[in-house]
Amino acid sequence: MISSKSVNVSILLAILSACNVVTAFVPSTSLSQVVTRHSQGNNQNGLSMAPKFDKSTQRWIPTTDDEENGGYGPFGTLMRFGPKPVVTRFTNPDEYEQGVLKMMAQKGYDRQEAQGNFDAYLENPNDWAFQKIEEEKGGFKREYGKAPSTKQLALNGVWTCVVIWFFNDLISGVASGRYQFEPLFKFW
Judge whether residue 40 has pLDDT over 60.
no
Q: How many CA atoms lie within 13 A of 11 on its CB side?
A: 14
For residue 3, the model assigns a pLDDT of 57
Q: Which residue type sits at 124?
A: N
Greater confidence (94 vs 42) lies with 94
**Looking at the whole model, is its pTM more than 0.85?**
no
Q: Which residue type sits at 61?
A: I
Q: Percentage of the chain surpassing pLDDT 70? A: 73
For residue 31, the model assigns a pLDDT of 29
Greater confidence (74 vs 187) lies with 74
DSSP secondary structure letters along 122-145: HH-HHHHHHHHHHHHTT-EEE-TT
Greater confidence (65 vs 127) lies with 127
Segment 75-97 mean pLDDT: 92
- What is the CA angle 66-70-76, rounded to 5? 170
Write out pLDDT tens, residues 93-145: 999 999 999 999 999 888 999 999 999 999 999 999 999 999 999 999 899 88
Closest C-alpha among 137, 166, 129, 142 to residue 11: 166
For residue 126, the model assigns a pLDDT of 96
Write out pLDDT tens, residues 151-170: 988 998 999 999 999 999 99
Beta bridge partners of 145: none
